[in-house]
A and B are shown apart, each in its own frame.
Chain A
């Protein structure tokens, strides 16, 4: 029998047409829709062909209509010619006539595509395949998608696992797929009843390879606590920084940023535990230490991101791993055929919240109420004399200023990314170029990053591989942004422009308190550029002993940063105000690592792998800054500083050296029992002479219980793994030389007309020759599971961290003559629970609904501070100055406890007035003393959770992500109208939080006369629930993609920070930023790959 070719292809004409359309990427979807809309209206065809081949007839029909033909070349004869003459016939009439003389039949699909096939014994309408699907244990599997391969034709199995599918084609292949199971293809023979299909659990899901540091492992055998970030799910989100992919999405990981352009944000893994050393996690890029900013990494280059959370996983990075480790792996070539990816999006930003400032009317009311409450005349008819003259002018003219409108700019993010990758027998490569332009919400708050990347690996011989992964990025954050701080203070009656349109220096000229928010930004020309060149050169040698290999990494990293400023002459000033400065900083780091690995299987049941490492690392920073003031002209900018009347220069340098050795042994027994033992010894120059080195060991066990024979009868449980680990990791995140007690510099001029004398003085930091490593002892207990045939999967983890020899920056009494000292003292504990759930809620033919939930709870507390009892009360001393209290969390609010306001009828303390804040006398001794201060709350969230719901219908995907953090408070000084953030009596605006008046004696917001004698800071809840990301995407169906020779083409729309439920009075509860509003972003994007 002649094997027919079922690989259909379209005829040439429409393909060309579509290719043409393809060049107009952005309009493709619209045009495609337009074409199909036309096709429905073209039902009637007239055709007059004298003598033509069948193919020519098809082309003629395509020309006259929007029908498209699909057929296999070898079934349509090319020699025989026919004649057709039809005047206004239906497509059926035309086709029946055309095929009359051929052993061919046709079928119309989707009202548009005409498929030509050979006539077989079964007609199309008759071929119905039935069967049933069972799982590996023989139980029926409902919801399995049964799809005719190469088409969109699909059905799902019913509750009994049976299905019935009507074929489009005469023969072919059915694909059976189900979440958590391996897909299976079944080639259809002649029979329409298939034997029972048995699906096997997907080894892939568990054998998914994840990066574990100095190597990769399949998920099944991992013993430590490693969270992988699902980057796929976020491809349709406008992430300009990889760390944004962490925001709210990973249990136990907190990411904070304020949404400003080019910001890196901060990451906290499993809560705060180090009081003063850095809490930033270690970043490992493609296997090596990365000291730059996360903002230097192009998110589109990132293949995977894994977070090592427990000691077992992190201990291999020993001294730097106490705050967790972020492993970022960039993409490599994967397929033989070169793949080109193109991804672009445009995102428009707007203020997700605008702080309500006093309106002009309320501002007037503030002045009147303030005057009344402080004993000044307060006569509304005299208001113009209470205002500053320039304010009065605007008041009378009816002019007012909206500060937010004034400092805003059109805000958007625009990103383009192209990459090319491929892999053949010996060589793989990945090359990319990307550009992202960000315009923030605030005038001149801009960032532009261009980056290129090259990952190349080649196998020179079976035993020798060399490669490089490298990247260069250029981040331009030039331009000084408008001063939001001044915008908050700008009077509604400010004068921001001279009559000639140029900017005034002060928003209310008489007072000079508030600089025009745009003035400095406009006066200053600023160039601020960070460049980062990072490369890892490596060689891998498979040594003659089987399983033994050696890897050498050498990773140099150059970073350049410069910040140049020129302040030009203001023509409205008579004095010369020109200044210019150049600041240059250069970092050079390198890491050199020798890694030996050995893998060995003994018999069927035992296998080992051993990793040994010896490495060194070095980093150096040096910087120079030159400032010039008073130039003969502002035309030179910063380019000829010698012209300055006054020149000053400063420079500094520092270097850090480190040495490391590490050993790790993984042992597997029967592929069910796993043991990992790790030890790392680190030395760092930053520590004091006697404590340069430290050793960090850890051990972990895990057991795949579901593979035991006694578990085989538990049908609902598909996978169960228990993990247990214990170990220690260190923290060396302190700056160079901090143990030495360094000096500061200053200057003085003796004698009139004298020259500058340099001065040196002791620094603020007391030297500590005994400073040593901080160590976190980390216990982790976890369960990984999959239930109900993979419909529910997840991880439950419990951890306990015990941090000792805490490096802390302790504030000292002034009488010590130093402000602070870095010490190893005390002990903190973190305990927490992390839950991750992934569920497939609905799985049907065309529709899938899946959810991910992450939840984390972290409670940290201080166990010991100084182990001192200096005051001899038998209880370990707290440290009030540093707000550290035994048994309390590390970051707490400690203050008097506000208890409403004094009202006119109350007995007032001396000097107090009605409407002033009353505090609780906690000691009950009848007097308010410093002993009445108490811990008011936690400054870090207790709980965090996030839920992502993902809906897929055919080629449409909708996902919605909600994140939340609860159980925390934050200081918000603006809550007191007369508080430190506001200038109550002066011509400055303030947030309209309300205030006490005799006529409206509230009990919450103090009077404008309140001078805050106790220096109380007001706090507010930072709890929030946020609809963080919603994205909707459409991918072109496979057949269409095949026609246009593309692998993928997707369009998407997404929204970020769409809505936040919170009582936080500031710009954003999550970032807690005092000034910057987090943007709400709507983006549209397109990604294409060939």
Chain B
């Protein structure tokens, strides 16, 4: 036993030494945290490359407005319940009954608020604040730094313009906070627009005029000037609006496309239909009309909306066809047999956004056969039974008297929503991988026309509108006929689907009036109240901001 003990003692000593050694190893900074896989904002925004990554994320946020989800109550809400569209699906409720749908707990109302502050303004403000704080030596030049700030300011202005057009008065947040703040108050629409104007003046000054092919999607000066024109109109500063639009129109960089170009030029069509073919949106494709294009790419990580699930390619993409396309595969032939089956050229629409007769028929009446925007390449008005199982296979589908619940099955629609089937998705996916145009020159002309109109310069207003119309082979409008309503008609003809119609109407104060006039659902026309001109402030925002009264827009439950 004794010998055993002696042998063990050195072992014991060793154990104790190891222990003590480990303990002495405790340095004072043992508990200091050094993140291993995710950096803090201040760490990322201390290098030039860090700003590049933040700017990329800001572009993702901007794209998320349109394609982060394809749930009907968020993605399509700038169209349904306006003068141009209702929902075709009788089982879904968006804007069918304005009073019971558009409430402070509505998901769409919350979606835009969350998107604006938590994504757009959060990312933009961090870039702007840190660009001014960062070590100046990280920048290649002062211009380099200003260009970064300018792009962030463009997005911030874009967002405030969206916010104020939807909600009216909203809090301006121009910085970042490091402690919770719950006493925000709303700035007036005038203040918000002025704030956006100032951001855009800076952006216009420092943004590049064009970018390389590999950078397409980044914001150029023309986009800032275009938006600035709109903001000036909202501010009532028409001269500056015209000047700003002139900066785009007279830049020598852009013109309306009047000749065939791009991926589909060899096929029957016209310059207007070429604008909406796959791959024809970026400037490098030969399209000199676009100012700002959201980038979508098939089967490339990051090419679509923020990924869903394990599959990075499974995010949402261009969902126009799903939203606007009719649910044609539900149509039966006169014998009651399924008349149409899903095919590549039509994709899989669900008829959630169903055009009103106003844009199906009314706006085309004057130049029905000449306006190329109403040509068979740009409006699909004829369908053929394509189900081989139907005895009517190959025949034209004749007119029907539609019940309200089959309004989604078949209707004329603008073919700009169509696109190619994806590389790994099939025609039932309801989406395409076409880039989405945010601003193009045609709208710049119409903005300048609006500014002239509001200045009562009808001649120049008509001249601008006629530039757009002449490209479309539509007859020129007489200055005496130019009104805001005419301008809205022209916008519908030229920009249907592309423009966020609700915001355009809201900006002009025309939403309620025109919904009562043109929406095809009686319930919608009767339920919309004057106060629906603006969204309600989300109840979540009011509840969270308990330190000060954010206040609800008048008319809504307080």
* B is bound to A: yes
Q: Does B401 reach chain A (CB closer than 8 Å)?
A: no
Q: How far is the CA of A741 from the CA of B126 in the complex (A)?
A: 13
Contact assessment for A654 and B4 in the assembled complex, using a CB-CB cutoff below 8 Å: no
Q: How far is the CA of A928 from the CA of B100 in the complex (A)?
A: 13
Q: Does A539 reach chain B (CB closer than 8 Å)?
A: yes
Shortest C-beta distance, A756 to chain B (Å), equals 4
Residue of B nearest to A883 (CB): B543
Shortest C-beta distance, A878 to chain B (Å), equals 7
Contact assessment for B557 and A928 in the assembled complex, using a CB-CB cutoff below 8 Å: yes
A985: which of B52, B90, B125 is its contact (CB, 8 Å)?
Answer: B90
Q: How far is the CA of A80 from the CA of B457 in the complex (A)?
A: 143
Contact assessment for A747 and B60 in the assembled complex, using a CB-CB cutoff below 8 Å: yes
Segment from B35-43, B144-152, B474-482 that makes contact with A: B35-43
Q: Does A759 reach chain B (CB closer than 8 Å)?
A: yes
Residues A793-824 near B (CB distance < 8 A): 810-819, 821, 823
Contact assessment for A762 and B123 in the assembled complex, using a CB-CB cutoff below 8 Å: yes
Q: How far is the CA of A371 from the CA of B90 in the complex (A)?
A: 9
Contact assessment for B546 and A877 in the assembled complex, using a CB-CB cutoff below 8 Å: yes
Contact assessment for A743 and B39 in the assembled complex, using a CB-CB cutoff below 8 Å: yes
Q: Does B329 reach chain A (CB closer than 8 Å)?
A: yes
Residues A742-767 near B (CB distance < 8 A): 742-764, 766-767
Contact assessment for B38 and A742 in the assembled complex, using a CB-CB cutoff below 8 Å: yes
Q: Does B214 reach chain A (CB closer than 8 Å)?
A: yes
Q: How far is the CA of A984 from the CA of B92 in the complex (A)?
A: 9
Residues B164-184 near A (CB distance < 8 A): 171, 173, 176-184
Also in contact, A759 and B59, with CB within 8 A (given A552-B15, A749-B300, A766-B178): yes
Q: Does B385 reach chain A (CB closer than 8 Å)?
A: no
Contact assessment for A764 and B118 in the assembled complex, using a CB-CB cutoff below 8 Å: yes
CB neighbours of A1002 from chain B (8 A): none
Segment from B222-230, B422-430, B487-495 that makes contact with A: B422-430
Also in contact, A817 and B121, with CB within 8 A (given A577-B424, A751-B215): yes
Q: How far is the CA of A629 from the CA of B308 in the complex (A)?
A: 13
Shortest C-beta distance, A473 to chain B (Å), equals 27
Also in contact, A375 and B404, with CB within 8 A (given A748-B302, A816-B181, A930-B542): yes
Q: Does B338 reach chain A (CB closer than 8 Å)?
A: yes
Q: How far is the CA of A741 from the CA of B40 in the complex (A)?
A: 6
Contact assessment for B56 and A579 in the assembled complex, using a CB-CB cutoff below 8 Å: no
Q: Does A1013 reach chain B (CB closer than 8 Å)?
A: yes
Q: How far is the CA of A986 from the CA of B55 in the complex (A)?
A: 41
Q: How far is the CA of A552 from the CA of B59 in the complex (A)?
A: 56
Residue of B nearest to A925 (CB): B558
Contact assessment for A880 and B546 in the assembled complex, using a CB-CB cutoff below 8 Å: yes
Q: Does A512 reach chain B (CB closer than 8 Å)?
A: yes
Q: Does A397 reach chain B (CB closer than 8 Å)?
A: no
Q: Does A655 reach chain B (CB closer than 8 Å)?
A: yes
Contact assessment for B36 and A653 in the assembled complex, using a CB-CB cutoff below 8 Å: yes
Segment from A41-49, A683-691, A709-717, A1059-1067 that makes contact with B: A683-691
Residue of B nearest to A574 (CB): B426
CB neighbours of B543 from chain A (8 A): 880-881, 930
Most chain A CB inside 10 Å of its own CB: which residue of B92, B100, B178, B214: B100
Q: How far is the CA of A651 from the CA of B36 in the complex (A)?
A: 10
Also in contact, A748 and B5, with CB within 8 A (given A760-B50, A813-B541): no
CB neighbours of B438 from chain A (8 A): none
Also in contact, A654 and B218, with CB within 8 A (given A541-B12, A659-B26, A684-B31): no
Q: How far is the CA of A510 from the CA of B384 in the complex (A)?
A: 19
CB neighbours of A464 from chain B (8 A): 8, 12
Also in contact, A1014 and B4, with CB within 8 A (given A685-B32, A746-B302, A928-B557): no
Contact assessment for A817 and B8 in the assembled complex, using a CB-CB cutoff below 8 Å: no
Shortest C-beta distance, B190 to chain A (Å), equals 19
Also in contact, A510 and B329, with CB within 8 A (given A692-B31, A750-B215, A752-B216): yes
Residues B12-28 near A (CB distance < 8 A): 12, 15, 19, 22-23, 26
Q: How far is the CA of A725 from the CA of B44 in the complex (A)?
A: 49
Segment from B194-202, B278-286, B459-467 that makes contact with A: B278-286
Contact assessment for B405 and A760 in the assembled complex, using a CB-CB cutoff below 8 Å: no
Contact assessment for B26 and A748 in the assembled complex, using a CB-CB cutoff below 8 Å: no
Interface size on A, residues (CB 8 A): 116
Also in contact, A817 and B176, with CB within 8 A (given A740-B40, A752-B279): yes
Q: Does A460 reach chain B (CB closer than 8 Å)?
A: yes
Contact assessment for A817 and B122 in the assembled complex, using a CB-CB cutoff below 8 Å: yes
Most chain B CB inside 10 Å of its own CB: which residue of A622, A754, A931: A754
Contact assessment for A817 and B125 in the assembled complex, using a CB-CB cutoff below 8 Å: yes
Q: How far is the CA of A878 from the CA of B301 in the complex (A)?
A: 44
B173: which of A653, A815, A819 is its contact (CB, 8 Å)?
Answer: A815
Contact assessment for B180 and A579 in the assembled complex, using a CB-CB cutoff below 8 Å: no
CB neighbours of B435 from chain A (8 A): 752
CB neighbours of A761 from chain B (8 A): 54, 57-58, 60-61, 119, 122-123
CB neighbours of B123 from chain A (8 A): 761-762
Q: Does B91 reach chain A (CB closer than 8 Å)?
A: yes
Q: Does A461 reach chain B (CB closer than 8 Å)?
A: yes
CB neighbours of B184 from chain A (8 A): 813, 815
Residues B500-558 near A (CB distance < 8 A): 523, 527, 539-549, 557-558
Contact assessment for B313 and A512 in the assembled complex, using a CB-CB cutoff below 8 Å: no
CB neighbours of A217 from chain B (8 A): none
Residue of A nearest to B22 (CB): A592
Q: Does A545 reach chain B (CB closer than 8 Å)?
A: no
Shortest C-beta distance, A519 to chain B (Å), equals 14
Residue of A nearest to B37 (CB): A652
Contact assessment for A753 and B297 in the assembled complex, using a CB-CB cutoff below 8 Å: yes
CB neighbours of B100 from chain A (8 A): 911-912, 1011, 1013
Q: How far is the CA of A756 from the CA of B213 in the complex (A)?
A: 14
Contact assessment for A1014 and B103 in the assembled complex, using a CB-CB cutoff below 8 Å: yes
Q: Does B217 reach chain A (CB closer than 8 Å)?
A: yes
Contact assessment for A1013 and B295 in the assembled complex, using a CB-CB cutoff below 8 Å: no
Q: Does A89 reach chain B (CB closer than 8 Å)?
A: no
Per-residue CB proximity of A662-691 to B under 8 Å, as 1/0?
000000000000000000000111110100
A742: which of B40, B181, B421, B423 is its contact (CB, 8 Å)?
Answer: B40
Shortest C-beta distance, B122 to chain A (Å), equals 4
Contact assessment for B126 and A461 in the assembled complex, using a CB-CB cutoff below 8 Å: no
Shortest C-beta distance, B278 to chain A (Å), equals 9
Shortest C-beta distance, B133 to chain A (Å), equals 15
Also in contact, A1011 and B93, with CB within 8 A (given A652-B37, A813-B544): yes
Q: How far is the CA of A616 from the CA of B30 in the complex (A)?
A: 10
Also in contact, A929 and B558, with CB within 8 A (given A751-B295, A754-B297): yes
Contact assessment for A986 and B544 in the assembled complex, using a CB-CB cutoff below 8 Å: no
Q: Does B256 reach chain A (CB closer than 8 Å)?
A: no
Also in contact, A762 and B218, with CB within 8 A (given A565-B310, A594-B19, A629-B424): no
CB neighbours of B126 from chain A (8 A): 762
CB neighbours of B114 from chain A (8 A): 814
CB neighbours of A984 from chain B (8 A): 91
Q: Does B470 reach chain A (CB closer than 8 Å)?
A: no
CB neighbours of B58 from chain A (8 A): 759, 761
Q: Known pairs A629-B311, A766-B180, A815-B545. 18 more at Cβ < 8 A?
A: A389-B330, A573-B426, A576-B424, A577-B424, A622-B36, A646-B313, A652-B38, A653-B36, A687-B31, A736-B35, A748-B63, A748-B295, A750-B216, A752-B216, A754-B214, A754-B297, A817-B173, A871-B546
Residues of B near any A CB (own CB < 8 A) = 1, 4-5, 8, 12, 15, 19, 22-23, 26, 30-33, 35-41, 44, 50, 52-61, 63, 90-93, 97-101, 103-105, 113-114, 116-119, 121-123, 125-126, 171, 173, 176-184, 212-218, 279, 282, 284-285, 295, 297, 299-303, 306, 310-314, 329-330, 332, 338, 403-405, 421-426, 428, 435, 523, 527, 539-549, 557-558
Question: What are 27 A-B pairs with beta-carbon distances under 8 A?
Answer: A374-B90, A389-B338, A461-B1, A575-B426, A594-B19, A629-B311, A629-B312, A646-B313, A683-B31, A685-B30, A685-B32, A685-B33, A737-B33, A741-B41, A743-B40, A744-B38, A749-B297, A753-B297, A758-B302, A759-B53, A761-B123, A767-B40, A767-B178, A814-B118, A871-B548, A911-B98, A911-B99
